[in-house]
């Protein structure tokens, strides 16, 4: 076997440009399971259309019982489709025999939530296992394992047993084992669900590196929205066996069409109005009060210096009340809640400036001046009032 691995780098720009071929395609796929009484059928998947272009990362997200595991089990041949067609790497695999699946499986690697390592084998031997099964010579197996160990950051753990590894290290072994036969496709079934947030981040970074540097197409199923946000290029939302929404992650996250998608997305994009303001928010402006405005930053406009424009150019007193700026599919996205003077001319100028900067805004309500603000206004009034100087 020859090496196709390049050293790791921080450059994770996308290699898949233009109209690359489809690595995975499901057309009108249905999957029925026999119900308990043996007569009725339970439809776990209905009319599923899904396309994963070569070199991209697609995440399928949905609530428990939605059909995610069933979907991935169809793609690795553990279950057969009941209707529709399944095309893998350009070949119609809908009616593949077990023998045909065995030869295809070398091109499809899989990693699991609970790692599925053999406890009696060392890290080295776990990674070597699929190559031994495929009958490779010991020398080429050794070359391949020694190439994979540094890729997943486990050079110093080759002789350790799974019981001596952390969860993140076990998943790295799982990833190396899945890559052993140089697959074109990597399937991930809840690969980070058993890991803590920091370890999840490092595993997602490793998966992205594998995709960007080796060009491996990745299909991820998950119920964790950060996995979609930090790893995937495209997303499909599944509910009750049907794909209800799909598209590039940035587009779906910033403009969800379906209520279930909106609920998932809300956990990473939503900014709460602070509790102490919710109770005092009013529908009408009051004298010297403020307007609460939500500003949404997307894509290239996300870096607009909006606050400094509003304060320096318009001269408005802006107070940041809450906010979050994040990256979705490596593109900035954020929301800021700001209070702006409710005086109509100032508020309108601010709203026009926000729109001119290419950002979106909405008026959430009005706030009465705080006690401290009222005191400041009183003092300003006092200073402006001409004083009678006694002779
Ligand atoms: N072998 C089977 N026989 C009968 N029903 C099944 C079988 N496998 C799955 N199902 C049913 O199909 C539906 C989808 O199951 P699936 O495991 O795909 O859900 P999931 O989205 O992976 O859920 P989770 O997030 O909880 O893992 C469920 O209602 C499940 O009970
Ligand atoms: Mg599942």
> Ligand 1 atom closest to Cα of 62?
21
Q: Which atom of ligand 1 is nearest to the CA of 35?
A: 4
111 vs 382, more confident? 111
Residue 27 Cα, ligand 1 centroid: separation in angstroms?
Answer: 20
Instruction: Give the DSSP H or E segment for 365.
Output: strand 360-367
Residue minimizing CA distance to atom 18 of ligand 1: 67
How far apart (Å, rounded) are the C-alpha atoms in residues 356 and 359?
A: 7
pLDDT digits (tens, 9 = 90+) for 243-279: 999 999 999 998 899 999 998 888 888 888 988 888 8
Give 19's pLDDT tier (boundaries 50, 70, 90). low
Determine if ligand 1 sits within 6 Å of the CB of residue 201: no
Going from the C-alpha of 359 to that of each of 115, 260, 326, 387, the distances in angstroms are 44, 25, 15, 46
Q: Per residue in 198-227, pLDDT tens?
A: 999 999 999 999 999 999 999 999 999 989
Tell me which of 65, 82, 242 to substitute to probe ligand 1's pocket, judged by most ligand atoms within 8 Å of the beta carbon. 65
Let me know the angle formed at the C-alpha of 31 by 28 and 36, rounded to the nearest 5 degrees: 155
Q: For each of the domains in the chain, give its residue range(s) and CATH number, in order of start.
A: 22-107+183-268 (3.40.50.300), 275-377 (3.30.70.260)
Q: What's the CA-to-centroid distance between 45 and ligand 1, angstroms?
A: 10
The whole-model pTM stands at: 0.82
Give which of 52, 177, 63, 209 is closest to 112, Cα–Cα.
177
């Amino acid at each position: 076997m020859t090496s196709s691995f390049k050293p790791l780098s921080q450059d994770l720009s996308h290699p898949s440009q233009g109209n690359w071929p489809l690595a995975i395609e499901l057309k009108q796929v249905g999957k029925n399971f026999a119900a308990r009484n043996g007569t009725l059928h339970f439809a776990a998947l209905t009319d599923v259309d899904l396309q994963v272009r070569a070199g991209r990362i697609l995440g399928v997200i949905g609530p428990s019982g939605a059909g995610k595991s069933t979907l991935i089990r169809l793609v690795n041949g553990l279950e057969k489709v009941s209707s529709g067609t399944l095309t893998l790497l350009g070949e119609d695999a809908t009616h593949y025999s077990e023998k045909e699946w065995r030869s295809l499986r070398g091109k499809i690697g899989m990693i699991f939530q609970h790692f599925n390592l053999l406890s009696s084998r060392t890290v080295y031997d776990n990674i070597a296992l699929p190559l031994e099964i495929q009958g490779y010579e010991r020398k080429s197996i050794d070359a391949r394992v020694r190439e994979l160990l540094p890729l997943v950051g486990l050079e110093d753990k080759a002789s350790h047993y799974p019981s001596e590894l952390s969860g993140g290290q076990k998943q790295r072994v799982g990833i190396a084992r899945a890559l052993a036969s140089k697959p074109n496709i990597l399937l991930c079934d809840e690969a980070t669900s058993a890991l803590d947030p920091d370890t999840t981040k490092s595993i997602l970074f490793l998966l992205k590196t594998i995709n960007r540097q080796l060009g491996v197409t990745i299909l991820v199923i998950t119920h964790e929205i950060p996995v979609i946000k930090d790893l995937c290029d495209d997303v499909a939302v599944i509910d009750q066996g049907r794909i209800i929404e799909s598209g590039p992650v940035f587009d779906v996250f910033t403009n969800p069409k379906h209520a279930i998608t909106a609920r998932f997305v809300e956990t990473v994009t939503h900014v709460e109005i602070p509790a102490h303001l919710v109770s005092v928010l009013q529908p009408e402006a009051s004298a010297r009060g403020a307007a609460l405005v939500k500003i949404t930053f997307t894509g290239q406009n996300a870096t607009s210096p909006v606050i400094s424009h509003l304060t320096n150019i318009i001269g408005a007193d802006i107070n940041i009340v809450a906010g979050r700026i994040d990256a979705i599919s490596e593109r900035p996205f954020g929301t800021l809640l700001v209070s702006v003077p409710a005086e109509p001319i100032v508020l309108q100028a601010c709203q026009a400036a926000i729109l001119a900067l290419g950002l979106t805004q909405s008026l959430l309500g009005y706030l009465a001046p705080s006690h401290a603000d009222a005191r400041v206004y009183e003092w300003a009034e006092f200073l402006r009032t001409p004083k009678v100087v006694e002779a």
